[in-house]
Structure 1
Amino acid sequence: MDFLTGKLKSLYFKYLAAAFGSALVTSIYSIVDMAIVGQYQGPEGTAALAVVAPIWNIIFSLGLLMGIGGSIIVSTLKGQRETNHQYENEYFSTALIGSFCLSAIMWFILIFFDKELFLFFGAKGNLLTLAQTYIIPIQFVVPCFLFTQMLAAFLRNDNAPTLATIGVLAGGVFNIFGDYFFVFTLDMGIFGAGLATAIGAVISCLVMISHFFTKTNTLHFVKPTALINQMKKIVVTGFSTFFIDIAMGILTILFNRQIMKYLGSDALSVYGIIVNVSTFVQCCAYSVGQAAQPIISTNYGAKLGLRIKETLKYALYTVIFFSLFWTCLTLFVPNLFVRFFMTPTKEILSIAPNIMRMYGLSFLLLPFNIFSTYYFQALLRPKDSFVISVARGLVVSGILIYILPLINVNYLWLTMPFTELVVAVYALVHMIQCNKTLINV
């Protein structure tokens, strides 16, 4: 599979299918858990998983930090044909070491400070008890979640996108059936959902590790010659993708607090649904970025600007499709999501449509904004990617989340639509400028 001479349309859509499968099933972990727990425990179970949601954002974002940051550099080096595999493997090894260190930190925090975390995330009373019960089995396998994200990124860049998809799919399928079996058949409740998720993560990780025993594998652990400098480059390159996920966790915390302050637990239950739908939309955007990134990075290293522009065209068409699809679903059938994720009360059915429609307007621009961070990263323009991710994930959204409720409490749900609009203008202007600088070889 040659990124430099192969037919771009076939390459892109092959990688898109693999990346979409991985992203789709990754989102299933939280979505299926919330749906099953919501049906078993009711709105309170959904609200408890909304409290847990930031933990997934943190763990997955750390995996993306090492995986995307390292794999982009490796792809660019491959495009510069004069480099050797030893140098590429040094970056892979550095990313692997970084992943081990970050896994150890997260493992320690989740085992010894889970209560403090959930209280900080907005849990109270029975919500705290439910959240702690859910996380018990997950505490044993925390590194598997981080390594799944990191390994998937490197496998896609090592011509093994299908195996990355199979790995995530295997864990996701187990999670779907395991959730139902443990929660309902064995009557384990929310603990069973956590158990199924934990086992699914182990399965995914083991499948991906099998790549290192194949003949096609080019990734090998070597001793890095400049560990600190290489780690800095990986962090700088991968930071924007990392911050997209970490920012979603930060925003979830801020929303949780504002919702409980102004609107109460019923609104928090609806927001729990929004978090999962938004995760799904983000995963679709991730798949576009992850499909285009290795192609763009490799061709950027080889200075093949026309191939980059053609890949961008296919990516933008895909982004438009996802944007229209998710926006229309949210606007026209909002209660479809409500009934899927929980057994709703009359009160929730009455407030959910308006909340879902207002927040759902953000889905019109969300896929483009997320893809743009991957695009700028692939072209080694971390500054543009950084501005987009930080403005979207913290600065603009963080300001609006506190200002808008002061005008009208229901305007809280317009925080993300306004944020995505501001960010999209910046991303579009800089994408056009960037395209003009590409060398058309």
Structure 2
Amino acid sequence: MEKAVKADCRNMEEKKKKEGGNESLMGTLPIPLLIIKTSIPLIISLLVNNLYNLVDSIFVSRVNEDALTGISLAAPLQMIMISLGCGLAVGLNALVSKAMGEKKQDEVKKAASAAIVMAFGAYLINAVVCLLIAVPYFRWQAGGNEAIARYGIAYIRICMLFSFGQMIQWVFDRLLIATGKSTLFLATLGTASLVNLILDPILIFGYFGLPAMGTAGAAIATVTGQLAGGLLGIYLNIKRNKEIPIHFTIHISKKHVVNILKVGIPTAIMQGIMSVMGIFINTILYQFSSTVVAIYGILLKVQNIAQICVQGMNNSLIPIIAYNYGAKKEKRIHETIRCAFIYAVIIMAVVLVILELIPDKILLLFDASEQMLQFGIPAVRIMSLSFFVSSIGIIFAAIFQGFGNGNYSMYLAFMRQVILLIPILLAGAFMNNLTVIWFGFVIAEALAIPFGLLLYRKIKKTVFVTAG
């Protein structure tokens, strides 16, 4: 009897140590250090990921400008994939982190199982959307230019019909992030990026006896890299992420599907808005020239690189806030938010100065013609201001998502990217003035900040009360 009691005591102590080990990362590590510790691997991963997307465009620009325009026009359709995967990932991340903060291990397991099945559903949606709209979309957006349409269709068909690797990666990477194992996430995304970087020139230009496949080669390299990263993510979660037991089953909990969708759907809608806006913006820019459309595609790539540090921090903030919300640690939540805004402003101020100094060198990476340099240099300089201001909205979105309130993120995105932006873009198109259009992005982001503050104050009066 005495031995049994001692054994129970030892088991309890071991359990406490395990909980304490997890707690030490999200619940007790000083917030400034915690943000840096969890953000750096994510930033490195995003850097590698976005660099291979950037390299995709650089390689494709060497094919010709029509090919670059084709993949630029593909961006809105790619946003559909991102909207489904990102919505699922954000919902899963918030739900799992909160459950871990509350020490509800069974909830963690059920949420992970639900997300795996939902990822397969997201892939099927991607495939159906591609089969239905890819060809008519490019016939419309290419403005009758058959070469641009051909390049774009070849690229997007492969990316969407073989997007199951990307969906796998979204889910299993987020499970690693939710437990603070960002270095393992670095391994999965790094693997995906490396595979893509190696295959890109081989498949695009046809080395080692392979045929030159152009934009189709870039797409094959991308989906192969995604699949490699996704498979490694599954392995690392099973072997190295024991806090989240992986259970493959089609018998999933309706409650957990609903809870993931509760946070994820607003995020997906938010990303979907960006897809629609991408189509709208490309339509407006095409009236100037296809070169301007290509420039906008380059600007999107530059923005992804410019905001990597803020986006990496954004990804780390969601589980930090969700965990401490579940653990009811209000002071740590407030400190997380304060540090995030300070870091974002400092980082983006440095990025702004750099972009203002080297716009021509950025464009020359894409084999820019004289016409592209003429239109592109002022565009980079003006849009770099937009990148700086939009970082505030990115942090607000992470705060709202961390509390499981995806609706607020959606409202803010709709204000930033639709309500305030559309009238200015239409005015610029009416005046046939590209400068007005580029400045429209800056003005819309700046005017949306007070709305973000309003939502933040509202959440302080509700969610923070329950977190205290």
TM-score, shorter chain, exceeding 0.5: yes
Q: Report the AA paired with residue 327 of structure 1.
A: L
1:238 aligns with 2:264: yes
The answer as to 2:40 corresponding to 1:20 is no
Offset of residue 62 of structure 1: 0.9
For structure 1, which segment, 85-94 or 238-247, has the greater mean C-alpha deviation from structure 2 after superposition? 238-247
Pair 417,65 (structure 1): closer, same or farther in 2 beyond 3 Å: same
2:382 & 2:240 partners in 1: Cα distance?
Answer: 51
Against the structure 1 CA distance between its residues 118 and 408, is the aligned structure 2 distance closer, same or farther, given a 3 Å change threshold? closer
Query: What are the equivalent positions in structure 2 for 1:199-214 lying under 5 Å apart?
Result: 199-214=224-239
**How far 1:16 sits from its partner (Å)?**
0.2
Which of 351, 354, 375 is equivalent to 1:351?
A: 375
Contact 1:243 1:393 in 2 (8 A): no
CA contact (8 A) 1:64 1:150 kept: no
- Indicate conservation of the 8 Å contact 2:176/2:241, yes or no: no
2:29 partner SS: coil
- The residue aligned with 2:291 is 266
Q: Does 1:221 align with 2:243?
A: no
2:400·2:406 contact (CA, 8 Å) conserved in 1?
Answer: yes
2:119 is aligned with 1:106: no
> Which is further off, 230-239 or 193-202?
230-239
Query: How far did 1:120 drift?
Result: 4.8
TM-superposition CA deviations, 1:164-222 (whole Å, max 9, x none): 11111111122223212322352433232222112111111111111232153223337
Shift of 1:29: 4.0
Go from structure 1 to structure 2 and tell me whether the alpha carbon gap of 1:180 and 1:113 turns closer, same or farther (over 3 Å shift): same
- Aligned partner letter, 2:50: S
Match of 1:329 in 2: 354
Which structure 2 residue ranges, 5 or more long, are not aligned?
1-21
Cα 1:350–1:216 change in 2 (3 A) is: closer
Q: Is the 8 A contact 2:71 2:215 kept in 1?
A: no
Larger CA Rg, structure 1 vs 2 = 2
Helix, strand or coil for the counterpart of 2:27? coil
Instruction: Give yes or no for contact 1:89–1:222 (8 Å, CA) kept in 2.
Output: no
Per the TM alignment, residue 415 of structure 1 is displaced from its structure 2 partner at its CA by 2.2
Q: 1:247 to 1:120 in 2, by over 3 A?
A: farther
**Residues 343-363 of structure 1: CA distance to partner in whole angstroms, max 9, x if unpaired?**
121121122111222222211
* Aligned residue in 1 for 2:452: 427
1:226, distance to aligned residue in structure 2 (A): 7.8
Q: How far has the Cα of 1:432 moved from its partner?
A: 4.9
Task: Give the distance between the partners of 1:232 and 1:118, measured in 2 at CA.
Answer: 35
1:302, distance to aligned residue in structure 2 (A): 1.6
Select which of 136, 156, 166 maps to 1:145.
166
* 1:314 Cα offset (Å): 2.5
Shift in CA distance, 426/213, structure 1 to aligned 2, threshold 3 Å: same
Specify the code of the residue in structure 2 equivalent to 1:234.
I
**Is the alpha carbon distance of 1:319 and 1:243 closer, same or farther for their aligned partners in structure 2, counting shifts above 3 Å?**
farther
Counterpart in the other structure of 1:87? 107
Q: CA deviation at 1:100?
A: 1.1
SS of 1:343 mapped into structure 2: coil
CA deviation after TM superposition for structure 1 residue 427, in Å: 1.4
| Structure 2 match to 1:364 | 388
Q: Distance in 2 between matches of 1:115 and 1:401?
A: 27
132, 140, 153: which one aligns with 1:132? 153
Structure 2 equivalent of residue 389 of structure 1: 413
Unaligned 5+ runs, structure 1: none
| Distance in 2 of aligned mates of 1:276 and 1:370 | 17
Number of the residue aligned with 2:13:
none
Contact 1:107 1:143 in 2 (8 A): no
Partner secondary structure for residue 374 of structure 2: helix
Sequence identity, in percent?
19
Superposed CA deviations along residues 351-396 of structure 1, whole A, max 9, x for unmatched, are: 2111222222211211221121111111233342221122223332
Aligned-partner Cα distance in 2 for 1:120–1:283:
33
Is the contact made by 1:144 and 1:201 (CA closer than 8 Å) also made in structure 2?
A: yes
TM-score of the pair, normalised by structure 2: 0.86
Structure 1 residues 114, 79: closer, same or farther in 2, change over 3 A? same
Q: 1-side partners of 2:431 and 2:119: how far apart? A: 44
**Matched ranges for 1:396-435 at <5 A:** 396-410=420-434, 411-432=436-457, 434-435=459-460
* Correspondent of 1:97 among 76, 92, 117: 117
1:51 counterpart residue number: 73
The one of 314, 328, 338 equivalent to 1:289 is 314
- The separation in 1 between residues aligned to 2:52 and 2:274, in whole angstroms, is 16
Q: Tell which deviates more after alignment, 12-21 or 325-334.
A: 325-334
TM-score (norm 1): 0.91
Give the partner amino acid of 2:280.
L
AA partner of residue 417 (structure 1): V
Question: Is 1:37 aligned with 2:60?
Answer: yes
Name which of 318, 332, 335 aligns with 2:343.
Answer: 318
Q: Say whether residues 1:183 and 2:208 are aligned partners.
A: no
Q: 1:415 to 1:232 in 2, by over 3 A?
A: farther
Provide the residue aligned with 1:71 in structure 2. Answer: 93
SS at the partner of 1:4? helix
Give the drift of 1:60: 1.8
Distance 1:54 1:146, change over 3 A: farther
Counterpart residue identity of residue 235, structure 1: L
Aligned residue identity for 2:245? L
From 191, 194, 211, the equivalent of 1:173 is 194
Alignment: residue pair count: 436
| CA pair 260-368 structure 1, distance change in 2 beyond 3 A | same
SS in 2 for 1:365: helix
Please identify, of 321-330 and 151-160, the stretch whose mean Cα deviation from structure 2 is larger. Answer: 321-330
Aligned 8 A contact 1:138 1:197 in 2:
yes
1:275 to 300, 316, 319: 300
User: Within 1, Cα distance between the matches of 2:272 and 2:417?
Assistant: 8
Structure 1 pair 119/286, CA: closer, same or farther in 2 (3 Å)?
A: farther
Render the CA deviation track for 1:270-328: whole Å, top value 9, x for unaligned.
11211211233454432111111111111111211111122223322221133223322
Give, in whole Å, the separation in 2 of the partners of 1:60 and 1:190.
Answer: 20
CA contact (8 A) 1:68 1:150 kept: no
Letter in 2 for 1:30: N
